[in-house]
Amino acid sequence: MPDATVTAVRPEAEPRTGPRRRGFGRAALYAGVIAGAFVMLFPFLWTLVTSITADGNLSGGPTLLVENPTLEAYRTLFDTLPMWRIVANSFGVAVVSTVAQLVTGSMAAYGFARLRFPGRNVIFTLYLATLMVPLQVLVVPLFIQMSRFDLNDTYFALLAPSVASAFGIFLLKQAMESVPRELDEAATIDGASHLRIYATIVLPLVRPALAALTVFAFMSSWNNFLWPLIVIRSPELMTLPLGLSTLHGQFTTEWNVVMAGSVVSILPIAVVYLFAQRHIIAGMAHTGLK
């Protein structure tokens, strides 16, 4: 029997243009990402560079080059305003407001997500409807209410409107609904109350959503300008956005000093976001929000 000869068929060589095209596409993608990042970071870089320039005049246009950098603008800023007191006011109000929103939002979210009571869906829909009402519409009735109780120009007036947040309730409710109800049933069989289930079972499982709400609430309170502008008159109660607004003169403005104040206001938010970035992403993915 003649030997069978097997002829191996060599596959055709991959065209050399394939890897080159993929490499070019990847390089173009990286270039686009770098360009987008530079566009996003340019205002912050410009703010930082302007704050260390000796001349506060911006007539020459934006630039990232500084010939003789100096910290004189920061010295002027702290000499002009009681910055330590202003920063402490903003930090204290932001922390108290954030903690209050976490407590009230998580308890209300637990009630909507875990309890069954008449009118639950209607009440929750009304809560969501308040998200469509801008703050500018509410400032007048809020101001009148604070005036009747003689609470204007107080810390309580700063904190009262931000004790509860409809967005926080919605965010935490979505997260709590993803927690299996079997855990609640098992804890109930063991004799656990709703308060214990809320504190020891549900809250630890929604920590990413709590972290996300913490950052959002802190940023909202830290950057709030309109409400403090309306209710605060005393310089010792001013928050950071309100204090920085006094740096703008009627005829001339030292922009390096203004930018120095902006850097001071940006740093805490940047630090909080950098440390909580992973939790924010996890919280958004956990709750299904985009």
- Which pTM was predicted? 0.78
Q: What is the pLDDT of residues 123-140, one digit of tens each?
A: 999 988 988 888 888 888
Residue percentage of the chain with pLDDT more than 70 = 83
pLDDT of residue 1: 47
**Residue bearing the bigger pLDDT, 162 or 16:** 162
**Over the range 73-91, which residues count as b (16 or more CB within 10 Å of their CB) and which as e?**
bbebbeeebebeebbebbb
What is the C-alpha separation between 49 and 61, in angstroms, rounded?
12
What is the pLDDT of the chain when averaged over all its residues?
Answer: 83
pLDDT of residue 267: 85
Q: What is the pLDDT of residues 232-241, one digit of tens each?
A: 988 889 999 9
Domain ranges of the chain: 23-70, 82-287
Architecture of domain 82-287: Orthogonal Bundle (1.10)
Q: Taking the CA atoms of 6, 7, 10 and 11 in sequence, report the sign of the dihedral they define.
A: negative
Residue with the two structure tokens 């922009």? 255
Q: What is the pLDDT of residues 15-50, one digit of tens each?
A: 555 666 777 778 888 889 999 988 888 888 888 888
pLDDT of residue 94: 93
Q: What is the pLDDT of residues 87-118, one digit of tens each?
A: 999 999 999 999 999 999 999 999 999 888 88
Q: Which of 43-52, 67-76, 79-88 has the highest mean pLDDT?
A: 79-88
Look at residue 290 and tell me whether its pLDDT is greater than 60: no
Q: What is the pLDDT of residues 245-283, one digit of tens each?
A: 888 765 567 888 888 888 888 888 888 777 777 766 665
Read off the pLDDT band of 61 (50, 70, 90). low
Read off the pLDDT band of 203 (50, 70, 90). very high
Return contacts of 259-262, CB within 8 angstroms, 24+ apart: 259/47, 259/48, 259/50, 259/51, 259/73, 260/51, 260/73, 260/74, 260/76, 260/77, 261/77, 261/81, 261/83, 262/47, 262/51
Local structure of 207: helix, strand or coil:
helix
pLDDT of residue 283: 57
pLDDT of residue 19: 66
